[in-house]
Structures are given as structure tokens and as C-alpha cells.
Amino acid sequence: MIDRTKLRDKMAFIENNLRLLREISKLPAEKFTTLTTDFHAAVRLLQISIEAMIDIGNHIVAQERLGVPKTYGEVFRLMADANVIPRSFLETTEKMVKFRNRVVHLYSDVDPMEVHNILCNNLDDFNVFIGFIVKRYFS
């Protein structure tokens, strides 16, 4: 059985992180790339927001018995197979998972300009994901 409280808490966690990320995104690129505290805060907030999406996905996959994912990317593929998220959103989730993996395993290679670009152009992807979950489990 889907634990809607768990989903709600994870979505609220992501939304709170997005508020902080939107504040950081207001910094001009030149300033963002020189302010290491803001850069590191943004990287960590993005990482844990992606991990919260993965947690939501893992909960849904387990509770709906959609399969046993071997990778984080597979979590989202199983969700798409079950029409929880559209297949067209998989490219977005794949990029998010790859970014998360680089942050965790290749952290010294994360480019501040790439992070600033994500802040300015991709934060709405989190809201899109939340929208799919709300539509499926709260409508």
C-alpha cells in the first residue's frame, strides 16, 4: 500500500530545497562560480532532492510490485512502464541520476557553470515530477 504521508513528506522536502535553490539561482554566473559556499550548498541541495525523488520512486516500485530495480535509473524506467511517469520524462530523470552519481563519486569534477545552468534552467523538472506523483496518488 502506498504511504501517502511518506510521499507527501518527500515532496515537501524537495519543495523546501527548491525554495533555497531558487534563491541561489538569482546569483549571476560570475558570482556563483566564485562563491564556494553557495556552489557547495547548491550541489548538496540538488543531490538530496534527486535522492528524495529516488526514494519516492523506490517506495512506489516496491509497494506496487513493479519489479526490483538494479540501478537508480531503473527505478524511473519501472515507473514509466507502469505509467506513473511518462516515458518522455525518462531522459530528464536519467540526466538527474547521472548528475547525482557524479556529485557523489566524482565530486571534484563537478563544474560550477554546469550547476549554475541547472539552477537557471532545470529546477522545474522537480515540480514536473511532483506533479506526476500528485496526479497519480492524490487526485
Hey, how many other C-beta atoms are within 10 angstroms of the C-beta on 130? 20
Give domain limits for the chain: 4-137
Beta strands in the chain (DSSP E): none
Q: Which amino acid is at 106?
A: L
- The single-letter code of the amino acid at 20 is L
What integer pLDDT is reported at residue 128 of this predicted model? Answer: 99
Instruction: List CB contacts of 47: < 8 A, sequence separation 6 or more.
Output: 100, 103, 104
> pLDDT band at 108, cuts 50/70/90?
confident
Least reliable range by pLDDT among 32-36, 79-83, 97-101: 32-36
**Cell numbers at 38, concatenated:** 553557495
Residues 23-43 as b/e (b if ≥16 CB within 10 A, e otherwise) read ebbebeeeebbeeeebbeebb
Q: Which fold has domain 4-137?
A: Four Helix Bundle (Hemerythrin (Met), subunit A) (1.20.120)
- Helix%, strand%, coil% for the chain, nearest 5: 80, 0, 20
Q: Has this prediction a pTM greater than 0.75?
A: yes
DSSP codes of every residue in 41-60: HHHHHHHHHHHHHHHHHHHH
Q: What does the alpha-carbon distance between residue 118 and residue 64 come to, in Å, rounded to a whole number?
A: 32
pLDDT bin (cut points 50, 70, 90) of residue 35 is confident
Contact yes or no for 53/128 (Cβ under 8 A): no
Please give the positions annotated as active site: 100, 105
Q: What is the pLDDT of residues 15-34, one digit of tens each?
A: 999 999 999 999 999 999 89
**Could you tell me the three cell numbers for 87?**
516515458
- Is the pLDDT at 107 greater than 90? The verdict is no
